[in-house]
């Protein structure tokens, strides 16, 4: 490969990396925004329950339950506005 061609390829990869970093930053901002919407007691209680379940079930089973929870997260996110409209405080 010629030097100019290598430079062009590096610049293209640098632009792709910059776009990916922007996506990660936006995703982080979205997560922080969503966590601010959840009541702190719910976060602490959920963390406590997750810790207790992991301790009781073991790390492997706790890990698989966590992955299942991540798969169910879109369903939960779609239910939150419905629950808020029904007057359930979250």
* Cβ count within 10 A of residue 50: 14
pLDDT band (50, 70, 90) for residue 80: confident
In the predicted structure, residue 32 carries a pLDDT above the cut 60: yes
In the predicted structure, residue 62 carries a pLDDT above the cut 70: no
In the predicted structure, residue 24 carries a pLDDT above the cut 70: yes
Helix (H, G, I), strand (E, B) or coil at 38: coil
Higher pLDDT among residues 46 and 29, named by residue: 29
* pTM check: above 0.75: no
At 66, list the tokens: 């966590």
Exposure b/e, 72-82, CB count within 10 A at least 16 = b = eeeeeeeeeee
């Amino acid at each position: 490969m010629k030097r100019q061609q290598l430079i062009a390829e590096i610049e293209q990869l640098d632009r792709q990396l910059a776009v990916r970093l922007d996506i990660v930053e936006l995703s982080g901002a979205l997560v922080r925004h969503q966590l601010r919407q959840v009541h702190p007691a719910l976060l602490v209680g959920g963390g406590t329950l997750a810790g207790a379940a992991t301790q009781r079930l073991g790390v492997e089973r706790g890990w698989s339950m966590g992955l299942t929870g991540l798969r169910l997260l879109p369903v939960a996110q779609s239910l939150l506005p419905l629950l808020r409209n029904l007057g359930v405080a979250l």
